[in-house]
Amino acid sequence: MVRIEEYIPWVGQAVIDDLRLLGERLKGKVIQHINSTPVGGGVAEILNRMVPLLRELGVDTKWGVIKGGEQFFEVTKKFHNALHGRAEEITQRDFEIFMETSQENIENVNTDADIIFIHDPQPIALIKKKATNKWLWRCHIDVSDPNEKVWGFLMDFIVRYDSAVFSAPAFSRRLPIRQFLISPSIDPLSDKNKELPQEMIDSVLRKYNIKKDKPIVMQISRFDSLKDPVGVIEAYLQVKKYINCQLVLAGGTAEDDPEGFKVLEEVREKAKNDPDSHILLLSQNDLEVNALQRASDVIVQKSLKEGFGLTVAEALWKSKPVVASNVGGIPLQIKHKYSGLLCHSIEGASFAIKQLLSSPAYAKKLGENGREHIKNNFLITRHLRDYMLLFLSLYHPEDSVYL
């Protein structure tokens, strides 16, 4: 298990000292995180890293997962898509299914901690159990243009929380409760982000039969229509008319995402006539993701909607030039033409990829700037600090808090 001291080479001793000071101020408080899946997807990944570190900092932290059957997760996936603004038919029965499973969880999940930290909409109805303790709702998804029917349904729960947390300013709206901006983070010591020897990178390429004879354009993301993998193939095919390159689309599916395999089939169909397209369904293997990212010449994240887009932070941390959509939390990570290139369309993505492949020095500079930006703002130590401040804010309503 990683120890907090191991981050000192990246962020300095004083940053860790500050975290310890905050941990001391939270002594005696018990915090319980609750989400819907222990593996797969960004939320589980972050909690897996953060919970042990919070404990080491002296913050008594627990993590629980709600239960739900196939029907429940189909409904929550529909909610997820609808909140991202996609057309979804949501029926009264869907809301009933959501409430039936929520009721079972309300009866079975223990919520005695001082602070209950609910992640995303799936466990949101647990707020019905709120006693005198503090409750936080963390929204990890892009709700800049949500389906109002679903948002209205969730709003009845949201207003009962003490505070809400969003990943980008565009997701906020007038709410009767306090709302905070906290970006997610990456962990420089995790298997997904740590330095790797070249032999390991080469062996992963060999495993997937990827030769290094032409530049690699890559998108690593769950197979999810909102990540627009089909759009990535179209952009790549436009680039390939001028530059001989290859495409790697790699990703897995999350336990709470029943749509993944359908999208994967669509992608395979779209790419089947191009021998330089590699479509890889990865099992949960962070070292391989790391190796593939490091082997790339350009990394793409052409999402249509994006809660934050941790894959962008991962790519920038590896000093890779990135082309990504100007959606959700991505513009917080990329300043256009300074730490990457932002795009709004397939044509825009294609043009940007061509620019980067044709100008390696420019691409290198963008990657270097990107790494600095991630180092200063999106590492797990900053995230730990923000969460601890958030917990403290529940007991301090003022704008300047002297601890």
Partner 1 sequence: MTELIRAKEPFKFCTRLHLSELTGLRASTLGQLLALIKEVPASCIYHHTHRFLQQHQYLSPEPPNDFAYWVTDTLGEDELGERLVSIDTMQYSTIRDLREKISSTIENYLKDSPLAKLKFARSGEEFHFIKSVNFILPTNYVAYDSLEFAEVLKKITIDSIYFHIFEARLRLEKPTNDFSCWIENSLGDKELADKISGFDPYTRTLEDLRKTLVQIIEKRISG
Select the span of 30-38, 42-50, 281-289, 385-393 touching partner 1 (CB under 8 A): 385-393
Least Cβ distance, residue 238 to partner 1 (angstroms): 24
* Residue 301 φ then ψ, to 5°: -140, 85
Among 5, 21, 207, 360, binds partner 1 (CB under 8 A): 21
Given candidates 179, 190, 285, 355, which one binds partner 1 under the rule CB under 8 A? 179
Please report whether residue 181 would count as binding partner 1 according to CB under 8 A: yes
Site string for partner 1, 351-370 (x = CB under 8 A): ------------------x-
286/292 Cα distance (integer angstroms): 10
Q: Which of 339, 330, 323 is nearest to 307 (CA)?
A: 330
* CB atoms near residue 297 (< 10 Å): 19
Give CA–CA dist 223/41, Å, rounded: 11
Does residue 400 bind partner 1 (CB under 8 A)?
A: yes
CB of 384 to partner 1, least distance (A): 11
- For 104, other C-beta atoms within 10 Å of its C-beta total 15
As measured in angstroms, the least distance from the Cβ of 21 to partner 1 is: 6
Work out how close the CB of 316 gets to partner 1 at its nearest, in angstroms, rounded to a whole number. 13
Question: Tokens standing for 250?
Answer: 């790699």
25 binds partner 1 (CB under 8 A): yes
CB of 20 to partner 1, least distance (A): 9
Give the DSSP H/E element, type plus range, for residue 119. Answer: strand 115-119
b/e for 243-278, b at 16 or more Cβ within 10 A?
A: eebbbbbbbbbbbbbbbbeebbeebeebbeeeebbb
List Cβ neighbours of 282 (8 Å cut-off, separation of 6 or more): 250, 251, 252, 288, 289
- Per-residue x/- track, 133-162, partner 1 (CB under 8 A): -----------xx-----------------
Q: Could you tell me how far CA 396 lies from the centroid of its own chain? A: 29
The DSSP secondary structure of 370-383, one letter per residue, reads HHHHHHHHSBHHHH
From residue 157 to residue 176, the character string flagging contacts with partner 1 as x (rule: CB under 8 A) and all else as - is ---------x--xx-xxxx-
Is residue 22 close enough to count as binding partner 1 by CB under 8 A? yes
Q: How far is the CB of 188 from partner 1 (least distance, A)?
A: 17
Which one, 89 or 399, has the nearer CB to partner 1? 399
* Smallest distance, partner 1 to C-beta of residue 139, A: 11
**Strand locations in 213-306 (E):** 216-220, 246-251, 277-281, 298-301
Give strand pairing partners of 115: 31, 134
Structure tokens at 303: 């999402």
Closer CB to partner 1, 14 or 361, in the complex: 14
Does the protein bind partner 1 through residue 345 (CB under 8 A)?
Answer: no
CA dihedral 111, 383, 302, 349 (to 10 degrees): 170
Residue 373 in the binding site for partner 1 (CB under 8 A): yes
> Is residue 178 a contact point for partner 1 (CB under 8 A)?
yes
**Spatial distance between the Cα atoms of 368 and 188, rounded to a whole number of angstroms:** 16
Among 14, 87, 131, 361, binds partner 1 (CB under 8 A): 14
**String of contacts with partner 1 for each residue 292-331, x by CB under 8 A:** ----------------------------------xx----
Is 18 near partner 1 (CB under 8 A)? yes
Contact positions vs partner 1 (CB under 8 A): 12-15, 17-18, 21-22, 25, 144-145, 166, 169-170, 172-175, 178-182, 326-327, 369, 372-373, 376-377, 385-386, 389-390, 392-393, 396, 399-403
